[in-house]
């Protein structure tokens, strides 16, 4: 952070805060206590004190991001909407608009190192910019009312706000201009490009305007997807655990304890593979639809375990069981991969509807045949 004018800014080392509900948003809600010192000082403006935030992420911020990636308290990972300051901004400093998902806010402030500016956090109910824009909460009306609520027109003398480009699906720039007087400038997609965008005179290169889906982009999504739907394979595992005890003589506890772990373990392993393999191999798997790509990944996984079984005869018991796991692996990988469309950056609603019409009946059919074979394998 740049030097602070001691006359304008009071230190906030005490960690105490003014009462909540202030329009300029002085406190953090959710699991982040005010004493977390995200706010390092306050700056005096005509609308009152505005908190100055750090541009460096602390260890606790990184832990928070890590937890959000694993889906722990993600919906509570929020920042109070309102105005924040970075460095030592004046009435001529640029204004950046952010969602109140703390990860969005953290990435923004981190990239504003050395740029004296204002951040206007709008209320997206703790959802990131792109998703919130799709739902309309990162939207025209919220921006207009937040400008009015925060008194932005008194804090800055210019009439420009810089929005992340991915906010555009929810925001009509010309309507914001019409109703608030502020001109919307769409900044780059990735906050890391902001310094270059500023240097170029608020111009983003075509490269900065394109969304990608790199291996890194994809991998960071895996933990949350894995955790979010874990209850389904868990229920299936419990069901199969009990089912494995069925056989000659109706039901045997011993048989269940002997075979159950294998059946339960298999479904969990397949679920984990389905969440990782198609994601990593996405660009290399045949087909354009995610369900086809997933089926190929499932085929690959089944092939590898088939090779393993070749060297360890008898591991699947009998051939119906082996065939059952093969089919179940295909169906689960295809289905889980199809759901990854929602995490991807390039699938359209029309396209997903089209692939589902074909894929879902095939997935259900394959899984059903797999289950019948599995039961057959258990009974013989």
Partner 1 sequence: MNGLRYLPDVVTLEYDETKCNGCTMCVIVCPHAVFTMVNKRAIVSDRDACMECGACAKNCPEDALSVRPGVGCAYAILVGKLRGTEPNCGCDDSVSCC
Positions that interact with partner 1 (CB under 8 A):
71, 74-75, 125, 127, 131, 133-135, 165-166, 168-174, 186, 189, 204, 206, 209-214, 228, 282-283, 288-290, 338-339, 341-356
Residue 144 to residues 93, 130, 139, 148, 249: CA-CA distances in angstroms?
19, 18, 9, 7, 71
Whichever of 157 and 205 has its CB closer to partner 1, that residue is 205
Whichever of 280 and 309 has its CB closer to partner 1, that residue is 280
DSSP readout, 329-349?
A: HHHHHHHHHHHGGGTSSS--H
Phi-psi region of 327 (alpha: psi -120 to 50; beta: other; left: phi over 0): alpha
Structure tokens at 115: 């740029």
Q: How far is the CB of 25 from partner 1 (least distance, A)?
A: 21
Q: How far is the CB of 343 from partner 1 (least distance, A)?
A: 7
Whichever of 306 and 342 has its CB closer to partner 1, that residue is 342
Q: How far is the CB of 319 from partner 1 (least distance, A)?
A: 33
Whichever of 214 and 254 has its CB closer to partner 1, that residue is 214
Cβ contact 138:124 at 8 Å: yes
Whichever of 174 and 319 has its CB closer to partner 1, that residue is 174
For residues 158-180, one letter each, b for 16 or more C-beta atoms within 10 angstroms of the residue's C-beta and e for the rest, the string is eeebbbbbbbbbbbebeebeebb
Matching residue, tokens 């030097």 = 3
Cβ contact 17:37 at 8 Å: no
Q: How far is the CB of 192 from partner 1 (least distance, A)?
A: 16
Whichever of 304 and 358 has its CB closer to partner 1, that residue is 358
In the chain, the largest separation of any two C-alpha atoms, in whole Å, equals 86
Q: How far is the CB of 349 from partner 1 (least distance, A)?
A: 3
Q: How far is the CB of 168 from partner 1 (least distance, A)?
A: 4
Q: Could you give the CA distance from residue 187 to residue 74 in angstroms, rounded to a whole number? A: 26
């Amino acid at each position: 952070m740049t030097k602070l004018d001691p006359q304008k800014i009071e230190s906030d080392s005490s960690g105490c805060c003014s009462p909540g509900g202030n329009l300029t948003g002085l406190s953090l809600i959710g699991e982040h206590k005010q004493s977390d010192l995200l706010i390092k000082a306050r700056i005096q403006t005509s609308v009152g004190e505005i908190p100055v935030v750090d541009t460096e992420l602390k260890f606790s911020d990184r832990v928070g991001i890590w937890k959000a990636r694993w889906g722990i308290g993600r919906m509570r990972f929020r920042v109070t909407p309102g105005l924040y300051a970075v460095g030592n901004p004046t009435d001529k400093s640029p204004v950046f608009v952010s969602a109140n998902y703390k990860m969005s806010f953290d990435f923004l402030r981190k990239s504003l190192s050395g740029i004296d500016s204002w951040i206007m956090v709008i209320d997206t109910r703790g959802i990131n910019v792109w998703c919130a824009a799709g739902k309309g909460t990162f939207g025209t009306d919220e921006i207009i009312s937040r400008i009015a609520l925060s008194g932005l027109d008194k804090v800055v003398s210019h009439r420009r706000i810089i929005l992340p480009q991915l906010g555009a699906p929810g925001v009509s720039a010309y309507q914001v201009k019409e109703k608030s007087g502020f001109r919307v400038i769409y900044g780059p997609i990735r906050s890391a490009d902001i310094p270059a965008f500023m240097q170029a005179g608020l111009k983003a290169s075509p490269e900065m305007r394109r969304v990608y889906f790199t291996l890194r982009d994809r991998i960071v999504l895996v933990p949350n997807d894995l955790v979010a739907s874990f209850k389904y394979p868990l229920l299936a595992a419990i069901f199969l655990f009990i089912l494995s005890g069925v056989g000659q003589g109706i039901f045997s506890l011993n048989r269940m304890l002997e075979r159950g772990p294998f059946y339960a373990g298999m479904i969990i392993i397949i679920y984990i593979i389905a969440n990782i393999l198609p994601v990593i191999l996405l660009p290399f798997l045949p087909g354009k639809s995610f369900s086809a790509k997933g089926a190929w990944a499932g085929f690959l996984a089944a092939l590898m375990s088939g090779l393993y079984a070749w060297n360890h005869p008898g591991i699947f018991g009998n051939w119906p069981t082996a065939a059952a796991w093969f089919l179940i692996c295909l169906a689960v990988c295809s289905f889980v991969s199809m759901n990854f469309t929602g995490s991807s950056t390039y699938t359209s609603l029309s396209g997903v509807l089209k692939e589902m019409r074909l894929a879902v009946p095939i997935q259900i059919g394959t899984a059903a045949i797999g289950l019948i074979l599995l039961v057959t394998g258990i009974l013989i």
